[in-house]
Amino acid sequence: GGDPIAQLNAYVQWERSGFSAKWCADHYVNLRQLQRSRDVYEQLAELVKTRILGNRGESQNAVSADSQTFARHSAHDMDGIAIRRALCAGLFTHACRLQRSGEYKTISDTTRLAKESG
C-alpha cells in the first residue's frame, strides 16, 4: 500500500545507494519489499528487451543498448507524467463513483460495491 510516487522515490534512492541494506535500515524502508520490486522491474525490463525491442529485427547489440536506455529513462523519469499515466491506466478499473443510494459503482463496468461500515 501507500503512495506509489513515494514508493518509486524510495526505490530510486535505494538504487542510488547501491541497493544497500543499511540505507533501508537508516530510512525505515522494508528491504524485502524493495527486493521484490527490483525483481519485478528486472522481469519487465527483460520482457521489453526480448518481446518488444527484439521483434524489430535489430542486432542484439542494438536491442541491448535500447533496453538499457529504456531502463535508465523509466527508472529516473521523475517528472512524473509517464508515471502518472501508467498509474491511471492501471488503477482505472478500481475507480468508483458514490451513488445516491450510498453504494459505489465502478466507472469501467458499473459493478456495484457496498459502502464499508465504519
User: DSSP state, 118?
Assistant: -
Residue 11, in any domain of the structure: yes
* Domains contained in the chain, number: 1
Vertex 94 angle, CA 90 and 99, to 5°: 150
Residue 9, in any domain of the structure: yes
Is residue 110 helix, strand or coil? coil
Domain range for 34 is 4-78
Residue 46, in any domain of the structure: yes
Vertex 98 angle, CA 92 and 101, to 5°: 145
Q: Which three cell numbers stand for residue 4?
A: 506509489
Residue 109, in any domain of the structure: no
Residue 118, in any domain of the structure: no
pTM of the model: 0.58
Residue 102, in any domain of the structure: no
Residue 8, in any domain of the structure: yes
Residue pLDDT, tens place only, 62-109: 545 554 555 555 555 556 777 778 888 888 888 888 888 888 888 877
Residue 106, in any domain of the structure: no
